[in-house]
Amino acid sequence: MRCIMHGQTAAAAPQIRQYVKESFPQYAVWEVCDAPKNDTLITSYFNYNNSWYAMAVYAYYAKTQTVTLLHSTKTWVQISVENGKIVATQSSGNADRACYVNLLA
């Protein structure tokens, strides 16, 4: 797994933290990162088979450490919060592809 920071360098400017899991097989569970201390948006992107993509946007609520699905093209990667961690679960059925999880920080 790797983490890539995107965004402006000004102190007040938001940044996107991108976490990448190069191999994310069927029914795998991935502890992506610690749960943020503030409310934010979380997105997931999963390449199913080079032509199908699963994208989802979640709202994360820091006070309750919960997520709400706002929109998705497919729900092959579910985001949840477990024991203070952001967790991704893959349920595409048969693909072992890279998965990207992004947090607006």
Q: Tell me: pLDDT of 100 over 60.
A: yes
Q: Tell me: pLDDT of 91 over 80.
A: yes
- Which of 55, 104, 60 has its CA nearest to residue 80? 60
CATH number of 15-104: 2.60.40
Residue 5 has what pLDDT?
54
Angle subtended at Cα 71 by Cα 104 and Cα 9, rounded to the nearest 5 degrees: 15
Residue 8 has what pLDDT?
52
Residue 56 — very low, low, confident or very high, per pLDDT cuts 50/70/90?
very high
**Domain ranges (residues) in the chain:** 15-104
Residue 96 — very low, low, confident or very high, per pLDDT cuts 50/70/90?
confident
